[in-house]
Amino acid sequence: MPLNEIYGGFELSETLLLDECLNNCRTLKLQNSKTLNFIRYFTNMNTCLQYIKNNANKALFIFISCENVLQLFIELAGYEQIKKIFVFFIEEQSCSFMLDWSRRYQKHIEKLFCSTELDYQLMYFGIDYCKSVGDENKRRQRDQLAQFNYEDVENLYKSLASYNLSLIKHQREKIDAQPDPIAIESDQYCTNNTEAALSNITIIDHDEIIDHDEDEISESVSNSVIPF
């Protein structure tokens, strides 16, 4: 990520995550939260807005739920320090609305994605972001800060690799759990053939045989040719 995108003329840069649902029953469980050291978390809109206003010297990248992003634009219209916004939706019905609405703010909204992808999106973004911030800190001879940034990059790489492996494993388990279409077709073929065979069998009523006149049976037997 180019440094002019990260700082854009500002002295510092920071990444924020805002979602007021993080503390209620729909809590987002960030599996790799210990790795995401570069994120500043907010669960209260007003607190986040005040932080942004109090840090006018920072270029900001914001991950925010679609339920909060509308208010963000209303409150911070014209704030040049907000460089990119990544919007995630929790309810699927919100997606189509956000797709249409986000076209009005293409300059700021970088990506729209489902909340189940939040871990991945944060890690993927963080690798490039932390590397660029580390390079800038190194250029400014802030060696200790740069080292922290590079350690974050290494940890993010490891976490992202682990995340991808677990995702692949989950997909394989889903595939293995699905019934074999060839086996289903074979079973259906056998069933169809069995039904066809059964339909050709004539069922003889035992009572009907008994009701036959004995003379008719005897006559039938006497007229039969028995070869020797």
Tokens describing residue 67:
């339920």
The residue whose two tokens read 């974050």 is: 152
CA-nearest of 76, 56, 72 to 10 is: 56
Q: What is the mean pLDDT of residues 164-174?
A: 80
Tens digits of residue pLDDT in 10-59: 878 899 998 876 555 444 566 677 788 899 989 889 999 999 999 988 99
62 close to 85: Cβ distance less than 8 angstroms: yes
Tens digits of residue pLDDT in 107-117: 678 888 888 88
Report which residue type is found at 18: L
Beta bridge partners of 14: 60
Mean pLDDT is lowest, of 26-40, 75-89, 154-168, for: 26-40
What superfamily in CATH does domain 3-177 come from? Response regulator (3.40.50.2300)
Cα distances from 194 to residues 15, 181, 203, in angstroms, run: 66, 20, 16
The pLDDT value given to residue 31: 67
Q: Which residue has the higher pLDDT, 221 or 114?
A: 114
- Coil/strand/helix, residue 71: helix
In total, the chain counts a number of residues equal to 228
The residue whose two tokens read 């990544």 is: 86
Residue 168: pLDDT band with limits 50, 70, 90? confident
Output helix, strand, coil percentages for the chain, rounded to the nearest 5.
Answer: 60, 15, 25
Q: What is the mean pLDDT of residues 146-151?
A: 93
- Beta strands (DSSP E) in the chain are 12-18, 39-42, 58-65, 82-89, 109-114
Q: Which residue has the higher pLDDT, 138 or 73?
A: 138
Q: Which residue has the higher pLDDT, 95 or 87?
A: 87
Bridge-based pairing state of the strands 12-18 and 82-89:
unpaired
The pLDDT value given to residue 163: 84
Q: Percent of the chain beyond pLDDT 90?
A: 25
The pLDDT value given to residue 20: 77
Q: Which residue has the higher pLDDT, 228 or 31?
A: 31
For residue 156, how far is the Cα from the chain centroid? 19
Mean pLDDT, the chain, whole residue set: 74
Tens digits of residue pLDDT in 92-108: 655 566 666 656 555 67
